[in-house]
Chain A
Amino acid sequence: MDKCIACGACTKKCPGKKPDEYNEGIISRKAIYVPYPQAVPLKYAIDPEICLYLQKGKCGTCKKVCPTGAINYDDKEEQVTLKVGSVIVTAGFKAFNPAKLDQYQHGTLPNVVTSLEFERYLSAGGPTAGHIKRPSDGKEPRKIAWLQCVGSRDINKCDNEYCSSVCCMYAIKEAVIAREHLGKDCRPAIFFMDLRSHGKEFEKYYNRAKADGVRFIRSRVHSITEIDQSGTLDLRYVTESGDIMNETFDMVVLSIGMEAPDSIMDLAGTLGIELNQYHFVKTDDLSPVATSKPGIYVAGVAQGCKDIPQSVMEASAAACSAGISLARARGSLVREKIFPPEKQITGQEPRIGVFVCNCGVNIGGIADVPAVVEYAKTLPGVTYAEENLFSCSQDTQDKMVEVIREQNLNRVVVAACTPRTHEPLFQETLRNANLNPYLFEMANIRNQCTWVHSDNKEIATRKAKNLVSMSVSRARLLEAVPALSVNVDKSALVVGGGVAGMTAALSLANQGFPATIVEKTEELGGAARDIHKTWQGQDVQKFLKDLISKVENHPDINVMINAEITGASGFVGNFETMIAAGGNTSIVRHGATIIATGGQASETDEYLLGKNPNVTRWHDLEHNPDKLKKAESVVFIQCVGSRDEKRPYCSRICCTASIKQAILAKDLNPGADVYVLYRDIRTFGDREVLYKEARNKGVIFIRYSLENKPVVQEVEGGLEVLVFDPVLQKKLAIQADLVNLATAIVPHDNEKLASLYKLSMNEDKFFMEAHAKLRPVDFATDGLFLCGLAHYPKPIEENIAQAMAAASRAATILSKPSIQVSPLVSQINAEKCIGCGLCVSICPFGAIELEEIEGKGKRAKNISASCKGCGLCASSCPQKAIDMLHFRDEQIVAAVIAAA
């Protein structure tokens, strides 16, 4: 595997063929293959099932054509024994196979595809290069229908009763992107039961899709037939008001759900962990990543259906759990690579070495590499140039180190493939040769040259020379950029003493990192004080009491109540926060900051709340469930203050919470009439079973629309709720003893905190994470992390997981005595700066501040540890007082001039 340089010569000649799993079988792949061009590791593998040599002893072509001798047919599967302190199961899922559901005709009708197949059609790297084509005739479809809940929320055939949680959103996304690809003529329609856009920024995405022409039809499609073998599909469905409809579409996408992978049974048996009835790994709500066996943790869809950010949070939470159980062994098995000392080159004339790569035939087969080498030798500053068959192979790397030393080179240019994959490798080579890694420059003469000019040797050669000339011109001006590291204060500050804040603090303290909790009220507990049971029935108050006791008694946790943050400064590893508590102001130094300021159920003046004692909010009822015993008629109203113009987001927890209370109402008084007035039921994941249980127990669900909200009025003897029932097509008047409102979950006022720590918030005043999918607990600024309701409304199990995730991310900083940060940062010329502050306001990372210089006024000052080197400040500075290290204006201009 070390010898493979992924040149692809083997796969070109390989005669084996098999449906390509990566492209969902839409096209085929060879027996020797990489799953996709960006695969990591980028190494070709042989599929023994279809390799002619391994099956029949014939062929052997790949071995013949491999230029590096990387093919080894004798390689056998090995059993290895690993000694580990902990195990994390992240086995993922398998996509539901719709062939089992004959009404959808997948596999029979070519224009019925799965959502995963459609992803491949959309992808620029997919089988149709991103052009959406009907499989039957290659024509562009105009009308495309998405069918939701295929394999989810049903138990008619071999499907699943749970909700897969992600299909509504990915269907909307596919519809939106399809319309971007196909233009305004494309008319997407989504057939759904309940539209579940319950995540952060999801509801807005749904609203935008509606406004942008995506049609949403509340119906489950009964059957699909093809009209006269034309490829056009006829969909038969019943509307909500009972009309039978037939509509034709060019293409149908089945929004398939997720299932536990087949291998999970064996894996669970081997590990000795329990699975739930759907074969997902069993966990408790209050310890969301712990399996039934100590030391073994689970994260992602292996635990149950969820989207990417939730999976990523759990991944970090599981890492945190493992970190706690192995805290005393931290650092015992890891080693740091040590490089030889760097040579000083300041003031030396440039001595540039140019290494031109043939990349097998990828470059050498098209461009005239020897001519490029000869040309490089003529460029000013170049003292050495040579060609290599494969610059990235280990033997060439070793040779390069020798050449750099022998020729006393002080700058290196490699003309080869892309720096995206190979720059770190060559930079390491420079470091091994006593050179600073930033004295390196790469010219991409493959992806941007021979691959796009493969039919014209002359043009390819000329362009390769040009690219080399640009790189050499830039290399002449490169300077050593010293590594930047900052010391780390090994403690954390946690803002907020609710379940999220306490869990984060405890998770750090249990790993030996002290934490200070700043709570603005007089007691710990936060919003969880209003919740009595998790959705699966675990006792929240008992858990909360226990958690508070652990936090208060932990020697490494300092709790400050009635405390307010009045000032903040510093950067990753070195924060200083001013805290006012009990009339005193103290300064706390900390290496990481976790924001867990929480949220609460909102008030409302709708539906007679506060005017009639029998109108309550759901958590008022949570404290006083006895009210349900006496009520003969209970009405729950959902989305009170959520999903409207003022708060265009879903509060995520209310459907499950109200349905739980509706079930309780039925359990306490089976004869009672219990109604849930809703807009979409959003019992995502396994919570769907609660919805089913409620219906089985006789809870009546009536859907209302935002345009036609229910009306609550006082009548003689109690309350009356008026609502239009879309199934009966009638207005109903419900006599109610009790009306319970699911009011929106809102964040606390975080404006001041946001400005002190320079954190951004979204339009709904929830804090913004660095990346919606991949960095759900990191802030854009290093060293600051986010968890709990301050991020978005979520149930307690998700808050706990997110808090542990924030602790895990903080531990990646706190576990090191010092951290390396990228030294490619902005550099401010104080002489040119006029202190206008434009850079301060434009910096997304809070990495520039204004400081008072005596007699001169304010001047910009860069905080290198927070700077990401994006260059926004440099490009916006009206005085040109800011330059970016390694990307100085003069370095970029030199390359541009060389190109001209």
Chain B
Amino acid sequence: MNKNNPAGSVLVIGGGITGMQSAIDLAESGFYVYLVEETSAIGGKMAQLDKTFPTNDCAM
């Protein structure tokens, strides 16, 4: 990779809540993002949770 002429794209490995947030921030600030997830849907472990503490908001 040429340091002075880098590619304007980022690979994010893992499509859970963390990977999605990284991807959103990067895409919204002008970078092309490849979000790679090994299962057939993004969402990760958080999608399995019913509610979240301390607000009891629905996790989904």
Instruction: Please report A residues at the B interface, Cβ cutoff 8 Å.
Output: 22, 24, 34-36, 38-41, 43, 45, 82-93, 95, 116, 119-120, 122-126, 130, 169-170, 172-173, 176-177, 199-202, 204-205, 263, 267, 295, 299-302, 308, 311-312, 314-316, 318-320, 322-323, 325-326, 328-334, 771-774, 808-809, 811-812, 815-816
Contacts and interface: CB of A to CB of B under 8 A. Distances in A.
Contacts of B29: 319, 323, 330, 808, 811-812, 815
A734 B34 CA distance: 60
A122 B18 contact: no
Interface of B: 1, 4-23, 25-32, 34, 38-57, 60
Given A39-B41, A318-B22, A773-B52, A267 B13 contact: yes
Contacts of A119: 48-50
Contact of A333 (B31, B38, B51, B55): B31
Contact of B53 (A83, A89, A123, A169): A169
**Could you say which of A120, A202, A267, A312 has the most chain B C-beta atoms within 10 Å of its C-beta?**
A312
B16 A82 contact: no
B54 A202 contact: yes
B26 to A, nearest CB: 5
B10 A87 contact: yes
B23 to A, nearest CB: 8
A38 B30 CA distance: 28
**Could you say which of B5, B26, B32 has the most chain A C-beta atoms within 10 Å of its C-beta?**
B26
A41 B10 contact: no
Contact of B6 (A88, A177, A325, A771): A325
Nearest to A812: B28
A330 B9 contact: no
Contacts of A812: 25, 28-29
Contact of B7 (A126, A202, A326): A326
Given A299-B18, A312-B18, A811-B25, 19 more contacts: A84-B9, A85-B1, A86-B11, A88-B11, A92-B44, A177-B50, A200-B54, A308-B52, A315-B25, A316-B22, A325-B6, A326-B10, A329-B6, A329-B31, A771-B57, A772-B55, A808-B25, A812-B25, A816-B30
B25 A36 contact: no
Contacts of B51: 122, 173, 177
Contacts of A34: 40-41
A90 B41 contact: no
Contacts of B56: 173, 176-177
B30 A330 contact: yes
Q: Top 10 A-B pairs ranked by shortest CB distance?
A: A300-B18, A329-B8, A315-B21, A39-B41, A90-B19, A319-B25, A332-B8, A45-B40, A90-B14, A333-B32
A84 B11 contact: yes
Contacts of B14: 89-92, 300, 302
17 contacts: A39-B43, A40-B41, A84-B11, A85-B1, A85-B10, A87-B13, A95-B45, A169-B54, A173-B53, A177-B51, A301-B18, A302-B18, A315-B17, A319-B29, A325-B6, A771-B57, A774-B17
B37 to A, nearest CB: 10
B54 to A, nearest CB: 4
A172 B22 contact: no
A44 to B, nearest CB: 8
A320 B26 CA distance: 8
Given A86-B10, A204-B54, A120 B48 contact: yes
A116 to B, nearest CB: 6
Nearest to A315: B21
A205 B60 CA distance: 21
B27 to A, nearest CB: 8
A312 B46 CA distance: 12
A299 B14 CA distance: 10
Nearest to B12: A88
A299 B53 contact: no
B8 A334 contact: yes
A372 to B, nearest CB: 31
Contacts of A267: 13
Contacts of A87: 10-13
B44 to A, nearest CB: 6
B54 A205 contact: yes
Contacts of B10: 84-88, 319, 322, 326
A172 B47 CA distance: 19
A122 B32 contact: no
A814 to B, nearest CB: 8
A92 B16 contact: yes
B19 to A, nearest CB: 4
**Could you say which of B5, B17, B29 has the most chain A C-beta atoms within 10 Å of its C-beta?**
B29
